[in-house]
Structure 1
Amino acid sequence: MSAQPPTDRPDVSRATSDGFVRGLSQAIGGPLGAHAVPPDARPGRFWTAPRIVMALACLVLALSWVQKSPCMDGNWQKNIQYTRYCYTDVLALYFAEGINEGKVPYKDHPVEYPVVTGYFMGALGLPIHAYGQDHPDINQGSWFYNANALVLSLLAVASLAVILALRRRRPWDAAIFALSPIVLFTATINWDFLAIGLFAFGLYLWVKRHPVWAGVLFGLGAAAKLWPVFILGPILVLALRTGRLRPWIGSMVAAAVTWAVVNFPVWYWYRESWLRFFRLNDERPVDWGTFWYIGRYLDSKWNTGTAGDQGPFQWLSDHVPTLNLLSYALFGASCLAIMLLGLLAPRRPRLSQLAFLVVAAFLIFSKVWSQQYVLWLLPLIVLARPKWGAIIAWTVAEIGYLAAFYAELIGAGGKSVIPEGTFVLASSLRLITVAVLCGFVVREIWRPELDDVRASYGGVDPDAGPLDGPEHPWITGLRRFFGQGPSQEAPPPPPIFKGEPATLVGN
């Protein structure tokens, strides 16, 4: 008699595999028993796990809108944007970029963001300005923020739907994203969910074995914020391990062509405006809360020499071109280390694990780490290592940093709120918790038996897409060259019952 094939139904062992969740479950009687009927298996049930998670996300995004409401009228007196944690670039840049005056991004004003973000700002802002010309009683800034908040919230929900689609056997993992205070406080600080949404749909298309279309989405994401294109590095590692480079080449070429096409109009007609983003990033000094900022502070405390002496971080702060080169070099070295880890690991790493490590390395060594950049890591860590305990500790550190950052901004205006050392401590805790998450992900790559996501999917990578399958024999030779044993062959992926298609939000 043949064995019953595994399904794509939810994995009900979540409270058993996650120690943090197992502990919380004791309050309601402990984990689900081996012979209990899971709620999602009951026929006719409307509130399934994916729908509950989606509803929770909508609630958090609605609360996020309420949390930003004190700043919506643009009357930012007495530092209300910092004391109420409601600051948003969306409203500030509506005026700073001249959209409130009807200026077309790049044509009439050199926008400081990549072109897809600039297009997005203009597409929402210029109609609102035109409407405001005929209706002078409306608050254009408030309308602009609300329009952006609506679209960005829809993109956040769409990103969550992708996470649910990619983890149909583990829908409660997506609750980490849906309930995150990070989303509550930072969802609409900037236009980051535009890039996150494009990246999420690109990843979905990759998993569904459409590498060229995935590349198109990655290219659009890179034209909104740079980081989505970093996914091509982890995909290359998987391609090398399987010996199938064609999907990676197709995705890479599509991303490059898409990025060039959407950039071309601004590059051709408004060259100086197009260059502003690159020049601004090249010239920017050390920013708040970065690795370099922490080092400069420690230099100032430890340097007891003459007034002309400088520590290395202080020197780098005064020599920005050298700082740029060192930052890029450290990120490049991190990428090479991640590639080596991916090639030498006992089993082919999961795509989301490598992607998280690459984006985290970029942030750790970047000279700019804005408060909303935390959103880049959130969906990746949910896919890479959905363990509540470590993610909650990281979230607390991120929220603590946000509070310290706003206090520091108030202090910069002349009213001291916290000592500089307190802000540096908050910055250090944020950096340390991200590094700890990286360490946990590396450990599960090197010891795949600890990877709960892999276990839920029969030992395979659910995100491998067109690179799913056996590894190329050359990997065994490479591992032996470095003194490692033969790679562990992954079992074949579990089949999915017909009639259960992988949709964006499962029932």
Structure 2
Amino acid sequence: MSIQPTAGTDDAGTGDHPSRSDGFVRGASELIGGPLGDHAVALDRPADRESRFWTAARIVLALACLTLALHWVQKSPCQDGAWQNNIQYTRMCYTDVLALYYAEGLNEGKVPYRDHPVEYPVLTGYFMGALGLPVHALGVDNPEINQGQWAYNANALVLSALAVATVAVILALRRRRPWDAALFALAPALFLTATVNWDLLAVGLAAFGFLAWARSRPALAGVLLGLAGAAKMWPLFVLGPILVLALRANRIRAGLTAVGTALVALVAVNLPAAVPYRDNWDRFFELNTTRPIDWGTLWYIGRYLDGKVNTGGPGSMGPFEWLNANIPTLNWLSYALFGLACLGVAVLALRAPKRPRLAQLAFLVVAAFLIFSKVWSQQFVLWLLPLVVLARPKWGAFIAWQVAEIGYFAAFYGELLGSATSRPVFPEGVFVLAATLRLGTVALLCVLVVKEILHPERDAVRDTYADDPDGGVLDGAPDAPWVDRWRRRPEPSEPAAVPAPTAA
């Protein structure tokens, strides 16, 4: 179903300007003269694109490139690998991309999985090898080059290209709202964590999966999400919302097609490593099942509180400390809470007054996974960035969340430096406070998204689009007949008539 542009817009342009439509930006714009005027030139209309180079989309893409360039500068003190005097912590420039070039044996020419176990899903391992092994080969012929620095820069270049591609996908999905993509392009979290690990590989592939689904190509969407899930597990969680929404719209065949092709892609990518090198391939799953409570998680906050309120004397344990000592129970509790959250999202999707948008449900599911997970690494914020931009493109709560992420980033490196030097950098509890604020702002975003699902008239995207621009075959589709019957509550019975009092 094609959606006609709203008044004053065209399909490639936008009637939405943040200084007019977003309350936070409108208030902030008063500092520089107020919202965009009625007679201002809109750089994103076709006539203006013919005469002006700097359209809204190009400005946003340029901003993304600037953010990534600044990120590269921020990581530059660590690029030579000579991490003396804990410079990787004092400059907050640590990156797994460089550290694991040596730890995974790539500097010695070891092939991931064949020669060395890898702690990441297979597509990330293949990616590491595809960029790291050529650098090793180059270093053999040119011993004067710094292999680690070359490997980092090669990875940074490709990962940055994937980040820019993700911005381009957001622009393609929001042609009438191009400034939404500026949330991603200017995000402090992107500046701080873009190349801490290889998460942008999964982010980029998942973004293209979203685009394929929006273009009504469920098979391709499934393949791309399956490949993204072979790089990091979280994109596979998007398949749940796709299935639930397809069920509500009576488009279950498209949903099953996406799930089926995703599983085929996932298995096809894993088989070359899983069959001949099972022990090395299994390292990712082994670490996930045996890993204790990690820094900054809900469970970590609980352990800290255990230490503050536990008065049982030496040897006694609070509940969270007990969970840390009983990891199988911790695993099952984490899975159960995440499963209950997914069930709640499914019920919300089926009971909501209007079918939710795919990005809204995808954000809720991935956020729930992070909230209840026993591991929440600093760069996992990149998972949520494109989802929150597509789900709730409003600046106020987004900025609050990003401020919390900045605080967590600084506190995290303070903890790392304190552990390395045995001298605390911050007072006790500062890191826990930072972790609590991060968790709290993500939970707040979840609450706001749920409110907009229950009150679709508050949804900024629905102000511009009739239904769901990411919905693909679901966009504009009516609900299945059983949905109304299931959602309809029985009418309350008429109250029994009260007999009139009789005279005594």
Q: Give the TM-score category using the shorter length.
A: over 0.9
Which residue number corresponds to residue 423 of structure 1?
A: 431
Q: How does 1:76-87 map to 2 (within 5 A)?
A: 76-87=83-94
Which residue number corresponds to residue 200 of structure 1?
A: 207
Q: How does 1:476-495 map to 2 (within 5 A)?
A: 476-481=484-489
Query: Per the alignment, do residues 482 and 357 of structure 1 end up closer, same or farther by CA in structure 2, a change over 3 Å counting?
Result: farther
Deviations 1:128-153 (A, max 9, x none): 10110110000000000000000000
Aligned match for 1:443, one of 438, 441, 451: 451
Query: Per the alignment, do residues 302 and 10 of structure 1 end up closer, same or farther by CA in structure 2, a change over 3 Å counting?
Result: same
Q: Structure 2 counterpart of 1:31, which letter?
A: P
1:434 aligns with 2:442: yes
Contact 1:12 1:38 in 2 (8 A): no
- TM-score for both structures, normalised by structure 2: 0.93
Q: Structure 1 counterpart of 2:35, which letter?
A: P
State the alpha-carbon separation in 2 of the partners of residues 5 and 85 from structure 1: 46
What SS does the corresponding residue of 1:197 show, helix, strand or coil? helix
State the alpha-carbon separation in 1 of the partners of residues 357 and 491 from structure 2: 23
Q: How does 1:136-147 map to 2 (within 5 A)?
A: 136-147=143-154
Q: How does 1:280-299 map to 2 (within 5 A)?
A: 280-299=287-306
Could you tell me how far 1:471 is from its partner in structure 2?
Answer: 1.0
Deviations 1:76-133 (A, max 9, x none): 1111111111000000000000000111100110011110000000011111101101
Could you tell me how far 1:321 is from its partner in structure 2?
Answer: 0.4
State the alpha-carbon separation in 2 of the partners of residues 323 and 387 from structure 1: 35
Q: How does 1:10-409 map to 2 (within 5 A)?
A: 10-34=14-38, 36-41=40-45, 42=48, 43-409=50-416
Which residue number corresponds to residue 490 of structure 1?
A: none
Unaligned runs of 5+ in 2: 493-504
State the alpha-carbon separation in 1 of the partners of residues 490 and 337 from structure 2: 23
Aligned match for 1:465, one of 463, 472, 477: 472
Could you tell me how far 1:251 is from its partner in structure 2?
Answer: 0.5
Query: Per the alignment, do residues 317 and 482 of structure 1 end up closer, same or farther by CA in structure 2, a change over 3 Å counting?
Result: farther
Could you tell me how far 1:412 is from its partner in structure 2?
Answer: 1.2
What SS does the corresponding residue of 1:269 show, helix, strand or coil? coil
Query: Per the alignment, do residues 387 and 39 of structure 1 end up closer, same or farther by CA in structure 2, a change over 3 Å counting?
Result: same
Q: Structure 2 counterpart of 1:159, which letter?
A: T
Could you tell me how far 1:410 is from its partner in structure 2?
Answer: 1.1
Could you tell me how far 1:29 is from its partner in structure 2?
Answer: 2.9
Could you tell me how far 1:34 is from its partner in structure 2?
Answer: 4.1
Query: Per the alignment, do residues 5 and 280 of structure 1 end up closer, same or farther by CA in structure 2, a change over 3 Å counting?
Result: closer
State the alpha-carbon separation in 2 of the partners of residues 415 and 98 from structure 1: 32
Query: Per the alignment, do residues 98 and 482 of structure 1 end up closer, same or farther by CA in structure 2, a change over 3 Å counting?
Result: farther
Contact 1:12 1:32 in 2 (8 A): no
Q: Which moved more, 1:278-287 or 1:35-44?
A: 35-44
State the alpha-carbon separation in 1 of the partners of residues 304 and 317 from structure 2: 12
- TM-score for both structures, normalised by structure 1: 0.93
Q: Structure 1 counterpart of 2:307, which letter?
A: S
State the alpha-carbon separation in 1 of the partners of residues 246 and 362 from structure 2: 14
Contact 1:214 1:251 in 2 (8 A): yes
Contact 1:166 1:463 in 2 (8 A): yes
Could you tell me how far 1:38 is from its partner in structure 2?
Answer: 2.2
State the alpha-carbon separation in 2 of the partners of residues 297 and 100 from structure 1: 39
Which residue number corresponds to residue 494 of structure 1?
A: none
State the alpha-carbon separation in 2 of the partners of residues 12 and 436 from structure 1: 25
State the alpha-carbon separation in 2 of the partners of residues 156 and 246 from structure 1: 32
Could you tell me how far 1:10 is from its partner in structure 2?
Answer: 1.1
State the alpha-carbon separation in 1 of the partners of residues 16 and 234 from structure 2: 34
State the alpha-carbon separation in 2 of the partners of residues 118 and 277 from structure 1: 10
State the alpha-carbon separation in 1 of the partners of residues 254 and 490 from structure 2: 28
What SS does the corresponding residue of 1:313 show, helix, strand or coil? helix
1:410 aligns with 2:414: no
Query: Per the alignment, do residues 150 and 472 of structure 1 end up closer, same or farther by CA in structure 2, a change over 3 Å counting?
Result: same
Contact 2:43 2:54 in 1 (8 A): no
Query: Per the alignment, do residues 243 and 28 of structure 1 end up closer, same or farther by CA in structure 2, a change over 3 Å counting?
Result: same
Q: Whose RCO is larger (CA < 8 A, sep 6+)? A: 1
Q: Which moved more, 1:62-71 or 1:25-34?
A: 25-34
Could you tell me how far 1:419 is from its partner in structure 2?
Answer: 2.6
What SS does the corresponding residue of 1:85 show, helix, strand or coil? coil
Contact 1:444 1:450 in 2 (8 A): yes
State the alpha-carbon separation in 1 of the partners of residues 199 and 426 from structure 2: 29
State the alpha-carbon separation in 1 of the partners of residues 454 and 38 from structure 2: 30
Q: Structure 2 counterpart of 1:423, which letter?
A: F
Q: Structure 2 counterpart of 1:19, which letter?
A: G
RMSD over equivalenced CA pairs, Å: 1.4
Q: Structure 2 counterpart of 1:73, which letter?
A: D
What SS does the corresponding residue of 1:12 show, helix, strand or coil? coil
What SS does the corresponding residue of 2:488 show, helix, strand or coil? helix
Query: Per the alignment, do residues 28 and 182 of structure 1 end up closer, same or farther by CA in structure 2, a change over 3 Å counting?
Result: same
What SS does the corresponding residue of 2:62 show, helix, strand or coil? helix
State the alpha-carbon separation in 2 of the partners of residues 166 and 40 from structure 1: 15
